[in-house]
A and B are shown apart, each in its own frame.
Chain A
Amino acid sequence: EVQLVESGGGLVKPGGSLRLSCAGSGFTFSNAWMNWVRQAPGKGLEWVGRIKSKADGGTIEYAAPVKGRFTISRDDSKNMVYLQMNSLKTEDTAVYYCNTGQFFDYWGQGTLVTVSS
């Protein structure tokens, strides 16, 4: 059974940093493209970024609102993907989901990030 478990969310002040983690199991993690998608409270879905598998070049892509502030990385030896978030803004407040694939076939339950003073 495929499982994705996010962790690392919490309350942080504007300008602060946070690192989210996503642990994958039940599939060949090293072959998977991994994405981060966020959802602000009561709002729709917003793609944040993606990291492809090393076999597919390991390309990393970001949405414009987070480019230069957020960094995605992966550790295939641990079946983990990470989202390092710096210079956080109040508008980054959201539930952050990790998911798999070119189209997002498996999703974690999400972790809430609240940016507030």
Chain B
Amino acid sequence: DIVMTQSPDSLAVSLGERATINCKSSQSVLYNSNNKNYLAWYQQKPGQPPKLLIYWASTRESGVPDRFSGSGSGTDFTLTISSLQTEDVAVYYCQQYYSNPYTFGQGTRLEIK
């Protein structure tokens, strides 16, 4: 199984500042035949289902604000929120969809400082 490890477990950032969440996979999720990283990011607010933010490691889902961006390749990935807003308070998960089982990171709780 591919193990997904996020860091940090929790993060407090001031409004308007940058938030960065890291995700490391135990093996590469880059599929060489199409040069795509099978990595997604989700946001989950209390009492709500997760919401897809980013797929293919860096493609923003339709309707997601452009302050959210994803980067990285192979085994190391980053979700960046360029200017934190109050509505961004949530738990964020990375997930690999490269191979069964399609594992998630443990989650990173993002709060306002």
Complex: A6 Cα to B52 Cα, angstroms: 18
Q: Which of B48, B51, B93 contacts A45 (CB 8 A)?
A: B93
**Contacting pair A44 B93 (CB below 8 A):** yes
Complex: A47 Cα to B51 Cα, angstroms: 15
Q: Which of A44, A50, A61, A109 contacts B104 (CB 8 A)?
A: A44
Is A102 an interface residue when CB atoms closer than 8 A count as contact? Answer: yes
For the complex formed, measure the closest distance between the CB of A3 and the CB atoms of chain B, giving whole angstroms: 12
Q: Which of A44, A61, A64, A107 contacts B107 (CB 8 A)?
A: A44
For the complex formed, measure the closest distance between the CB of B42 and the CB atoms of chain A, giving whole angstroms: 7
**Contacting pair B103 A104 (CB below 8 A):** no
Q: Which of A50, A61, A64, A104 contacts B50 (CB 8 A)?
A: A104
**Contacting pair B52 A103 (CB below 8 A):** yes
Contacts of A50 in B (CB 8 A): 102
Classify chain A's interface size.
20 to 34
Name the residue on B nearest A110 (C-beta): B49
Q: Considering the complex, which residues of chain A in the window 86-104 have a beta carbon less than 8 Å from any beta carbon of chain B? A: 97, 99, 102-104
Name the residue on A nearest B104 (C-beta): A45
Contacts of B97 in A (CB 8 A): 102-103
Complex: A46 Cα to B107 Cα, angstroms: 11
The number of residue pairs between A and B whose CB atoms lie closer than 8 Å in the complex comes to: 52
Contact residues of B: prevailing secondary structure = loop
Name the residue on A nearest B93 (C-beta): A45
Complex: A106 Cα to B51 Cα, angstroms: 7
- Most chain B CB atoms below 10 A, which of A46, A47, A103, A109: A103
**Contacting pair A103 B49 (CB below 8 A):** no
Contacts of B56 in A (CB 8 A): 103
Is A105 an interface residue when CB atoms closer than 8 A count as contact? Answer: yes
Is B61 an interface residue when CB atoms closer than 8 A count as contact? Answer: yes
10 additional A-B pairs beyond A47-B102, A104-B52, A105-B52, beta carbons within 8 Å, are A44-B104, A44-B107, A47-B104, A50-B102, A63-B101, A103-B38, A104-B95, A105-B61, A107-B49, A109-B48
